[in-house]
Chains A and B, each alone.
Chain A
Amino acid sequence: MDKLPAMLKRFVVPELLLAGLMLSPLARAQSAQPQPEIPKNQKSAPAAASVDYDGWGRPIPEPAKDQKSTPALPHDISGTWDPANGHEDGGQFLGAKTLPVDGKPGHEPPYTPEGFQAYLRTKPSNGARSVPPTETNDPEIICDPQGFPRENLFQLRTTQIVQTPVSVVILYEFDRVWRVIWTDGRELPKDAEPRWYGYSVGKWVDDYTLVVESNGTDDKTWVDHAGRPHSADLRVEERFHRVDHDHLEWTVLIDDPKMYTKPWLAMDKFPMRLQPADFDVRELICSPSEYTEYNKVVGTGASEAADPPANKKDHQ
C-alpha cells in the first residue's frame, strides 16, 4: 500500500488526464484532423498538421484567407470542385443533407401513404434506422450503381465538370461514374426506358445559373443513403449557380407525386469550391470482391446473433 501514492502519480494520474483529453470535444475534433506520414528515418510522430493530399499524393493548397474571388465567365461551371466545407460535407451518410435521418423531428420528407410504405421497406445501413451490414437491402452496398439523384446525395466528393458546346458532363469521384446533361435544346424523353442515371437536359437561366431537369431514373435505385424511395415518375431539378470564380452552389429538388405530397429540397445551395486545374481526383470504387472479403472478416460476423452460452468464448 505504501507504494500506492507513487504509483498513482506515475500511472493513474497520467491515464486519467489522457482519458479526460480523449473525452473532450476539442481533442476529438483535433484527432480527426489529417496527419502527415512519418518519414522512414523519423521515430516519433510529428505534430499534427492540417495537410491534405489529392489523388496523386500532392498537398492540397489551403485557400488564401480574405482573398476575394474574381468573377466567373458566363455560362461556365467547368472545373474540379470539392465540397467547400470539407470532404465529409458531401458524405451524407444519414441521407440527404437537408433531411438527415438522425432521429430528430422534422427530418422526413412529405411522404404519400405509398411513399411511406416504400420507405419502411428499405433497410439502410446507416442512420437512425440502420440494420447490421448483412441485413441491409441497400442496392449500393453490393456495388450496384447508385443511380441518380443518389450520386449527388451520397458520397458527393471531388466532382469534375466538363463542358462541350452541346453538353455538360459531370464526373463523380465515387465509383468513377459520369452523367451527361444535354444543353443542345432537346426536351426530356417521354416514356423512355429507365436508366440508372436517367436522362438530363439543362438550360442557362442567367449568366451564372444552369437549371437541369432529369427523369427516367430506374425505380430500383434509392434517392439517398437513408432509403428514401422514388417511383418511375421521379423528376429532379438541379440548379448549378456559380457564385464567383471559386465557388459553386448546387441545389437538388425532388419531385415525385407518387411518393411525396410535394417537392422537397435534398440539397440546398450545397457549397463547392474550385480546385486547381491540375488537381488529381482520388479513387473510391465499390468492388464486389473487396466487399466479399470485408464480409468474411467483419460484415458477416458482426451481423450474426451471439453464440449460445455453451459455445460463447471470452474474447477479452
Chain B
Amino acid sequence: MKRDFLMFLGFAIGILIISVPLSAHHGNAAYDTEKTITLKGTVTQWFWANPHCVLEMDVKDEKGQIVHWGAETENPTTMSHQGWAKTSFKPGDEVTVTMITVKNGKPIGRITEVVLPNGQKLAGRIVAPLPAYNPQDPAKQ
C-alpha cells in the first residue's frame, strides 16, 4: 500500500508539470517558463530580502543525493501582500515547492506555490507570458 502511494506520489508530481509563466523584478529570461516542477524539501534558509526573497532547501534526488536548491520569489513587500512573511519558513521545515526552473539545469527556481508543513498554501506572483519580441522589427513600432 505504501509502495503504491509512493508510486502515485511520483506520478502526481509528474502531472503537476504544467505551464505557469510568471514575472518579477528580474524577468524570466533565465527561466524555462513552459513547465513547473514540484519538489519536497527541507528548508535550510529563508532569505526575506530585496530584490527577491529566496528559499533555500535540501532536496533528495532520485539517486538519494542531497541537492541544494535556491528558489526565489519577489520582494518582501510584494510577497507580504500575498500572505507571505519573514516567519513563513524556518530551517528544518518540510515544504513542497512548485516552481519554474532555470534553463541551464542548475538547481534554481522561481516559486509558483509553496505548501507549508501545516498545509497552508502560499501563492507566487503569476502574470501572463510575453510573446517573442524584436524592437528592430518595424511591425512592432
- A: residues with CB less than 8 A from B are 3, 7, 10-12, 15-16, 18-19, 22-23, 28, 31-38, 42-45, 52-53, 87, 91, 93-94, 101-108, 116, 119-120, 124-133, 136, 141, 157, 173, 282-287, 290-291, 293-294, 297-299, 301-307, 312-316
Of all chain A residues, the one with the shortest Cβ separation from B27 is A130
CB distance from A115 to the nearest CB of B (A): 12
Query: Main SS of chain A's interface residues?
Result: loop
CB distance from B36 to the nearest CB of A (A): 9
Asked, given contacts A22-B18, A87-B81, whether A45 binds B50 with beta carbons under 8 Å apart, the answer is no
Whether B29 and A130, one on each chain, are in contact in the complex, defined by CB atoms closer than 8 angstroms, is yes
CB distance from A192 to the nearest CB of B (A): 32
Asked, given contacts A11-B12, A294-B47, A297-B70, whether A22 binds B26 with beta carbons under 8 Å apart, the answer is no
Whether A129 and B133, one on each chain, are in contact in the complex, defined by CB atoms closer than 8 angstroms, is yes
Whether A12 and B118, one on each chain, are in contact in the complex, defined by CB atoms closer than 8 angstroms, is no
Give bound CA distance, A125 to B52, whole Å. 13
Return chain B residues, CB-CB under 8 Å to A3.
4
Quick one: which of B47, B49, B62, B77 has the most chain A CB within 10 A? B77
Number of A-B residue pairs having CB atoms within 8 Å of each other in the complex: 205
Contact pattern, B 61-99, Cβ under 8 Å of A = 1, otherwise 0 = 111000101101001111011110100000000000000
Whether B82 and A32, one on each chain, are in contact in the complex, defined by CB atoms closer than 8 angstroms, is yes
Give bound CA distance, A34 to B75, whole Å. 15
Whether A128 and B51, one on each chain, are in contact in the complex, defined by CB atoms closer than 8 angstroms, is no
Whether A284 and B50, one on each chain, are in contact in the complex, defined by CB atoms closer than 8 angstroms, is yes
Tell me the residues in window 1-59 of chain B with beta carbons closer than 8 Å to chain A beta carbons.
Answer: 4-5, 8, 11-12, 15-16, 18-20, 23-31, 37, 39, 47, 49-52, 54, 56
Whether B83 and A28, one on each chain, are in contact in the complex, defined by CB atoms closer than 8 angstroms, is no
28 A–B contact pairs at CB < 8 A?
Answer: A7-B4, A11-B12, A22-B18, A23-B19, A28-B20, A31-B123, A35-B82, A35-B122, A36-B83, A43-B119, A45-B119, A93-B127, A102-B131, A103-B130, A108-B135, A125-B26, A126-B23, A126-B24, A126-B27, A128-B131, A286-B51, A291-B50, A298-B70, A302-B106, A315-B106, A315-B107, A316-B39, A316-B62
- B: residues with CB less than 8 A from A are 4-5, 8, 11-12, 15-16, 18-20, 23-31, 37, 39, 47, 49-52, 54, 56, 61-63, 67, 69-70, 72, 75-78, 80-83, 85, 102-108, 113, 118-123, 125-127, 130-133, 135-136, 139-141
Whether B83 and A101, one on each chain, are in contact in the complex, defined by CB atoms closer than 8 angstroms, is no
Looking at the complex, which one of A28, A94, A284 makes contact with B75 (CB distance below 8 Å)?
Answer: A284
Quick one: which of B23, B28, B72, B120 has the most chain A CB within 10 A? B120
Looking at the complex, which one of B30, B103, B106, B121 makes contact with A45 (CB distance below 8 Å)?
Answer: B121
Whether B30 and A105, one on each chain, are in contact in the complex, defined by CB atoms closer than 8 angstroms, is no
Return chain B residues, CB-CB under 8 Å to A132.
29-30
Return chain B residues, CB-CB under 8 Å to A44.
118-120
Whether B133 and A101, one on each chain, are in contact in the complex, defined by CB atoms closer than 8 angstroms, is yes
Return chain A residues, CB-CB under 8 Å to B19.
23
Of all chain A residues, the one with the shortest Cβ separation from B4 is A7
Whether A32 and B135, one on each chain, are in contact in the complex, defined by CB atoms closer than 8 angstroms, is no
